[in-house]
Structure 1
Amino acid sequence: MRIKLFLGVLALAVLPSAVLLAQQDLSTHFLRHTWQANRTNPAFFPEYEMVIGLPGVYNSLWVENLTYNTLFVEDGNGNRVLNVDQAILGMEDRNAIRENLDIETLSLGARFGPLGLSISHTFRFNAFMDYPKTLPQLIWQGNAQFIGEEIEFAPDIDVLGYQEFAVGAMVEVSDAVVIGGRAKLLSGAGSINSSRNQLRLRTDSEVYQLTLNADYQVNSASSLTYDGFDDIQTNFDFGTFSAESLFTGNTGFAFDLGAHVKLGKLELAASVLDIGGIDWDEEVNNYSLNGTYEYEGLDFAQRIFDDSTSFGSVLDTLETVYEIEEGSEGFRTTLPTRFYLSATLRLRENWTVGGLIFSESYRGNTYPAAALSSNLQVLPFLNVGGIYSWRNNRFDNLGLNATLKAGPVQLLAATDNILTVFQPKDSNASHLRLGLNLLFAPRESEMKDAGPKWF
């Protein structure tokens, strides 16, 4: 028995965009000797007169309450087969999928005495979906289990891609205090966003009357086309990022602020990132369901509940009952705003430890995290570190990072969850940052800290 309404189909259309490519970048904040740390606090600046950031990537994926081994199980012949019913058993009342991908193309930083200036360009992609367990239950198991009940099944969706052009500055107010800021011009490439999120379905236990109470709207910019229940198309990939579309009619602004205090061997830092959003006014489509929809009749109920009925005929029937309203009104998306509060202590000249409290404000919710870190300058050209964090209500997050420097070239690799490498099929999160920098003209403090130079 199956019922697949508009949002069920939409969920399946959006979900692949989210998982092909959540969030909380913790390791990078402690890598103060790298240019990438500046992305977590604009007051951070490596101890060099000039820095060039070459192409790099940051990616983070989180799929709550779902792993490969819960979705695919072994059959009697030892083959892996899809078992959606088992996966649903492991879900909570609410579940989330989160993906962040940053492709850092080029950046430049330069010091002029106590003043540091920077410019950068980044492709950024963010995908978020928060859905109730009842949504996959309806899609895959049907609504017979909910006869006589009213259930909520609306997903909250936010998928967007944009280009970020940033200009930043930091100032050494004194030997102990540094403040920084960054202004960002945002050029939107595409968005799929749900702005109203209420869908409640009731199936009468006697006459199989369906009642849908709806107040749901999906906004799209250059990403989603709806021409009927059986013709929903998405056009959301990085092919939309091209030199010809550096600037679009969908624009916005955001700001970063940060401070860094040095108290001898103890350093304190605080920052807030991505204060702002994007206004989508170009190639906009709105699709909404609003009101109470009812349908009575045994023939219709049998068509919905009969497994032998083709899905196409069900869609044709649903389209005559549930009217999707279309519009072209512009909308606004707010970026996930992140907060960092940290302390680091230099135990020895080549050894630092630190602690971090992190919070992200997004879609009306707060996502906290906390971390402990340690970094060791093993050799003049090699720095290694580890991080242990609490995030997504889990305590099994162990990360590693390393930087290698050869002459002016600095390579960076970091992950907040190394266990994914060893247990990928049992993990629901992954995290990776890769960076490449050119560092020129070290300051006296950097030369003193690093000791004798091998390169």
Structure 2
Amino acid sequence: MKKVLFFLFATLANVALLAQQDLSTHFMRHTWQAHRTNPALYPDYGVSIGLPGVYNSLWIENLTYNTLFTTDANGQQVIDINSSIAALEGQNRIREQLDLETLSLGLRLGPVGLSFAHAFRFNAYLDYPKALPQLIWQGNAQFIGQEVSFGPQTDIYAYQEFAVGAMVDLAKWVQVGGRVKFLSGAGSVSTANSGLRLRTDDEIYALTLDADFRLNTAASINYNGFDDVRANFDFASFSLDQLTTGNNGFAFDIGARIDLGKLDLSASLLDIGQITWDEDVSNYSLNGVYEYEGLDLAQGIFEDSTSFGSVLDTLKQIYEVKETQESYEMALPRRMYLSATLQLRENWTVGGLFYSERYRGQTFTAAALSTNLQVLSMLNVGALFAYRDRRFDNLGLNATFKLGPVQLMAATDNILTVFQPKDSNSSSLRIGLNLLFNRIDPPATDAGPKWF
């Protein structure tokens, strides 16, 4: 039983550990990367080429390095399981997003803009109750006479994204844009149902498991019994040799921008779509109420001292994991950006942003204030302060350096992680390289309505 439960954590360990919100990039309007947050945003260049870049964001709720590790008598760093579990709340989440952007292109043809892009995208999401690690590492003796729920919800998936978009000037001060994305799935592990409840009788120590659990997988899991569960998901296996698979889907983005002189308004909806997993699919279900008695087995199911081989033999007789090969659908996290920027001086802007993400029936929100300053003709720097994850200690920094047509950009939404990495539970970083040609002069000051 311990091995079966631990498998859910081991799956994450086999990948890179879904997602913090990408906030800073939206305000870097002079970069091609800002276009990813709103298809109506184009830099003031006729040709924009995005070279390989990366974006990564990780958030581990309620845990930090200093929570997980302690120093033993020999001065060695060791994992402190009990302290880590004590730091958890009733429900806890881990999210990660990793985007590898290979190549993209933007063209401005008068009032029309066209875009093409390709990227590898990986997301991981785990929402688990505190009772799950308690059962795995501390046993069920603490729950005698109780019924506890320990089923996790998880999504781990990766796919390639091919995007084609367009932008049009409806007026000199109004732009609208859209983007259609073909998705080619590489692998997935996803819980459809996560009902797992365990009761330990307080008199005869009988165990009762009430299960309504279903795990959907595609090209990710090999299950050959309780004693043979292997994860074969490897993000590093992505290659251009396999541009398409049998796991396909579509999504689209829409956005708009209104230029009111010194005030600029922007709104966008992103990743409205889903992937259907049809190829190399397996579904593992555990349904029904399972009961077993016997003091030795009941006391030892979650104990290290029990011979695991004998426990597995018993579990095989009691639990019947049903395996099927049915396709399934998975919706992408749907994101929304609403923002306003104000030009205080020719080289200085400030802005505000509201972000919302809808995923697996939950809504994640964030709000941010930003400022960007063109220090030199080749150097732009910015800062961001955000409220998210019920925390105010989110300070971001960003910078771009441009020499000729070459533009290098870097941004993070939480610079404090650099200075106190062992006490932080989140991190984010974006690095990009662009080639920008044929600068387009901004419209005359009387091009549209001026409110400021």
Matched, 1:4 2:23: no
Aligned counterparts of 1:306 and 1:132: Cα–Cα separation in 2? 20
Aligned counterparts of 1:315 and 1:355: Cα–Cα separation in 2? 56
Query: Which letter does structure 2 place at the counterpart of 1:368?
Result: T
Aligned counterparts of 1:446 and 1:103: Cα–Cα separation in 2? 34
Aligned to 1:164: 161
- Structure 1 residues 137-191: Cα deviation after superposition (integer angstroms, max 9, x where no partner): 0000000000100000000010100000000000111011100000000000000
Kept in 2: contact 1:160–1:192 (CA 8 A): yes
Aligned counterparts of 1:26 and 1:304: Cα–Cα separation in 2? 46
Query: Which letter does structure 2 place at the counterpart of 1:417?
Result: N
* Residue 117 of structure 1, aligned match among 114, 119, 122: 114
Aligned counterparts of 2:259 and 2:169: Cα–Cα separation in 1? 11
Aligned to 1:345: 342
Aligned to 1:270: 267
Kept in 2: contact 1:18–1:98 (CA 8 A): no
Aligned to 2:449: none
Aligned to 2:362: 365
Aligned to 2:284: 287
- Structure 1 residues 266-309: Cα deviation after superposition (integer angstroms, max 9, x where no partner): 00000000000100000000001001111112232243255422
Matched, 1:260 2:249: no
* Residue 301 of structure 1, aligned match among 298, 301, 315: 298
Q: Secondary structure at the match of 1:9?
A: helix
Aligned counterparts of 2:18 and 2:363: Cα–Cα separation in 1? 23
Query: Which letter does structure 2 place at the counterpart of 1:336?
Result: P
Kept in 1: contact 2:383–2:396 (CA 8 A): yes
Q: Secondary structure at the match of 2:171?
A: coil
Aligned counterparts of 1:35 and 1:379: Cα–Cα separation in 2? 19
Question: Bigger CA drift: 221-230 or 438-447?
Answer: 438-447
Aligned counterparts of 1:57 and 1:307: Cα–Cα separation in 2? 42
Aligned to 1:451: none
Aligned counterparts of 1:350 and 1:305: Cα–Cα separation in 2? 63
Aligned counterparts of 1:286 and 1:43: Cα–Cα separation in 2? 40
Unaligned runs of 5+ in 2: 446-452
Matched, 1:33 2:30: yes
Q: Secondary structure at the match of 1:38?
A: helix
RMSD over aligned Cα, in angstroms? Answer: 1.5
Aligned to 1:241: 238
Aligned counterparts of 2:200 and 2:269: Cα–Cα separation in 1? 47
Query: Which letter does structure 2 place at the counterpart of 1:104?
Result: E
* Residue 102 of structure 1, aligned match among 80, 99, 104: 99
Unaligned runs of 5+ in 1: 449-455
* Residue 205 of structure 1, aligned match among 202, 207, 226: 202
Matched, 1:191 2:197: no
Q: Secondary structure at the match of 2:422?
A: helix
Aligned counterparts of 1:402 and 1:305: Cα–Cα separation in 2? 52
Kept in 2: contact 1:5–1:318 (CA 8 A): no
- Structure 1 residues 315-349: Cα deviation after superposition (integer angstroms, max 9, x where no partner): 33222211111000000111001000000000000
Kept in 2: contact 1:18–1:99 (CA 8 A): no
TM-score (norm 2): 0.96
Aligned counterparts of 2:265 and 2:444: Cα–Cα separation in 1? 22
* Residue 65 of structure 2, aligned match among 45, 63, 68: 68
Question: Bigger CA drift: 164-173 or 238-247?
Answer: 238-247
Kept in 1: contact 2:2–2:302 (CA 8 A): no
Structure 1 residue 5 displacement after superposition: 6.5
Aligned to 1:427: 424
Aligned counterparts of 1:252 and 1:19: Cα–Cα separation in 2? 24
State how 1:15-26 maps to structure 2 within 5 Å. 15-17=12-14, 19-20=16-17, 22-26=19-23
Aligned to 2:389: 392
Kept in 2: contact 1:13–1:233 (CA 8 A): no
Structure 1 residue 310 displacement after superposition: 3.0
Matched, 1:89 2:86: yes
Calculate percent identity across the aligned residue pairs. Answer: 65
Kept in 1: contact 2:45–2:436 (CA 8 A): yes
Aligned to 1:452: none
* Residue 229 of structure 2, aligned match among 226, 229, 232: 232
- Structure 1 residues 87-139: Cα deviation after superposition (integer angstroms, max 9, x where no partner): 00000000000000000000011011000000000000000000000000000
Aligned to 2:125: 128
Aligned counterparts of 1:75 and 1:140: Cα–Cα separation in 2? 19
Aligned counterparts of 2:14 and 2:267: Cα–Cα separation in 1? 33
Aligned to 2:40: 43
Aligned to 2:173: 176
Aligned counterparts of 2:386 and 2:336: Cα–Cα separation in 1? 16
Kept in 2: contact 1:21–1:99 (CA 8 A): yes
* Residue 140 of structure 1, aligned match among 132, 137, 141: 137
Structure 1 residue 19 displacement after superposition: 4.3
Kept in 2: contact 1:258–1:271 (CA 8 A): yes
Aligned counterparts of 1:224 and 1:358: Cα–Cα separation in 2? 34
Question: Bigger CA drift: 238-247 or 26-35?
Answer: 238-247
Aligned counterparts of 1:106 and 1:180: Cα–Cα separation in 2? 20
Kept in 2: contact 1:47–1:446 (CA 8 A): no
